[in-house]
Amino acid sequence: MSVTTDVSIESETSHFSKKLVGQWIVVLGLIYLLLVAVSTISGGFKSATGDNARQLFEFARNPVTGLVIGTIATALIQSSSTVTSIIVGLVAGGLPVGLAIPMVMGANIGTTITNTIVSLGHVREREEFKRAYAAATIHDFFNLLCVVLLLPLELMTGFLSRSGYALASMMSGSGSLSIKEFNVVKPIIQPALYFFQDIVLAGMPKVATGVFMILIGVIMIFVVITLLGKLLKSLMVGKAKEILHKSVGRGPFSGLLSGILLTVLVQSSSTTTSLIVPLAGNGVFSLRQVYPFTLGANIGTCITALLAATAITGGNAVLALQIAFVHLLYNMTGVIIIYGIPFLRNLPLYAAEHLAESTVKNKLYALAYIFGVFFLIPGVLIALSNWLGL
Amino acid sequence: MLDSIKKKEELESKIVDLERSLKTLKQQLMDEVEEEQHRDIDHLEEYLDEVDHRYGNMKDFWHIVRQELRERFAKKKIAEGKQNPEA
C-alpha cells in the first residue's frame, strides 16, 4: 500500500472519529436540554397554577379521562417519551400523581399507533401485510389488556403509586439527586431556568410567565426527543444489530432483554416496535418470536421518564421520581402478569392474528381500527363518563 | 416366534433411526431459520428508514383502500343489476 493511501485512510479515520465525538457531544447537549425542558414545565406549572393544580385538573379526576388524554396526546405526537416527560414535569409542578397515573397508562396505548402505521406499508403483499399488521397490533392488544387489568387494580389498591413512592423515597434522599449530599443537577439546570424566567419572560405577569414556560418546555421536549431519536438511531444502528444478532435463537427472555436494551439505546419505543414490523412481515421472525421483543420496548422506554425526573430538584423531586417509577413498575408488572400467565399471554396473540386475518380481507378494518382505538373510542369514553357524571 | 422378535427389533431400530434423522432435520431447519434471521438483521438500516417514511405508507394504503372500495361498489351494482333485470 502506498504512503499516500495510508495518509488518506488515516485522515478519513480521524475525520470520522471527530464526527462521532461531535455527535455524542450533541447527544449530551440534547439530554441537558431535556432536563432543562422538564424543569421549565415544572417551574411554569407552579407559577401558572400556584396551589390550585388539583382544582385545575379536576376534569381529569376521572381516570378514564386521564387515560384518554394520555392516549390521544401520544397518538397525535407519536412519542410516549415526550408525553411521559411532560407528565413528569407537570407532576413536579403540582399535578397530583393519582391523576397522572392513568395518563401514563394512556401514553402506553397511544404510542402503538406508530408501528401500526408502519405496517400499512406492507399492504401490497397479502401474506406480508397479514404478518406485519399482526406484529404491530399485538403491541396494542397487550397494552390494552394491561390497562384493563392494572388500572382497576391501581384504583382499588394504589399498589403502583405506593411502590413508586417507596422507590422514589429511597432514591431521592434529601429531595434532589445527590451524590453524598452534593447536588449535581441543580447547578447545571438552574442557569437555563433563570434565563427563561428572568430574561426571556421578564416583566410578564406570573400566570402568563408560567403558561409560556409550559409551552416552551413542551416544544423543547418534543424537539429534543425527536432529534435525540434521529441521532441515536444513526449512532446506535451497529450496536442494535449486535444486540439482535445475539438474541437470535435464544428464547423469549433474551428477546425481552434485547427489546429493553435496544429501546434504552435509541430512546424510543416507537422505533423499536416499528423495527419489528418489517422483520415479522418478511416472515423471517414469527409473531411469537417478536412478541417478547415488543414487551421489552415497553420497559425500555421508561428510562426517558426516569431521566426527566432527575431534572427536578427540591421537595417535588420525590414526586417526579415517583411517577417515573410508576411508569416502570406498571410496564414491568404488565409483562410479568400477562406474559407470565399462558392464558393471558396468548390473548394478544389471538386478537392480533384474528384482526390481521380480517384486515387482509377488508382493508377498511385497518383504518377503522386506527381511528377507533386511538381517537373514536377514547372520545366516546370521555363523553360517556361525563354524561354519567363520573 | 423368532421371526416376530427379529421383525420387532428391526422396526424399533428403524424408528430410532427415523427419530435421529428427524432430530437432525429439525436442527438443520432451525439453523437455516436462524441464518435467515441473521441475514435479515443485517438490513436493519432499511427497516429504520421505513419508520421515517411511514406517512408515505399511509398514502399508498389509502390508494389501495379506495381501489378496493370502488371494486366492491362496482360488484354490488352488477349484483343488483342481475337481481333486477327489468330495472
pLDDT of A178 reads 45
Q: With the C-alpha atoms ordered B50, B54, B55, B60, is the resulting torsion angle positive or negative?
A: positive
Lowest mean pLDDT among B11-15, B47-51, B72-76: B47-51
pLDDT of A6 reads 67
pLDDT of B19 reads 95
**Any idea where the domains of chain B sit in the sequence?**
1-42, 52-87
Residue A110, number of CB atoms within 10 A of its CB: 29
Write the pLDDT tens digit of every residue in B28-59: 999 999 999 999 888 888 887 777 777 777 78
* Nearest alpha-carbon partner for A201 in A308, A63, A48: A48
Cβ atoms of A135 and A281 within 8 Å: the answer is yes
Interchain contact, B50 vs A124, CB within 8 Å: no
Place of cell 396494542: A140
Q: Which residues of B touch A270 (CB under 8 A)?
A: 51
pLDDT of A140 reads 93
3-class state of residue A111 by DSSP: coil
Q: Where does residue A151 rank: exposed (0-12), middle (13-18), buried (19+ CB within 10 A)?
A: buried
pLDDT of B85 reads 64
Check if A277 contacts B (Cβ < 8 Å).
yes
Q: Which residues of B touch A363 (CB under 8 A)?
A: 61, 64-65, 68
pLDDT of A4 reads 62
Q: Where does residue A35 rank: exposed (0-12), middle (13-18), buried (19+ CB within 10 A)?
A: buried
The predicted model gives B13-25 an average pLDDT of: 95
pLDDT of B86 reads 57
C-alpha cell at A133: 399488521
pTM reported for the whole predicted model: 0.86
3-class state of residue B84 by DSSP: coil
pLDDT of B46 reads 82
Interchain contact, B42 vs A241, CB within 8 Å: yes
pLDDT of A317 reads 87
Mean pLDDT by 10 residues, chain A (390 residues): 64 75 89 89 82 68 88 89 92 90 94 89 90 94 94 94 93 54 64 72 78 88 89 86 88 92 89 88 91 94 91 85 96 96 95 94 87 84 76
d(CA A76, CA A6): 51
C-alpha cell at A350: 389471538
Cβ atoms of A315 and A175 within 8 Å: the answer is yes
pLDDT of A179 reads 42
d(CA A146, CA A352): 15
Strands A178-179 and A182-183: antiparallel
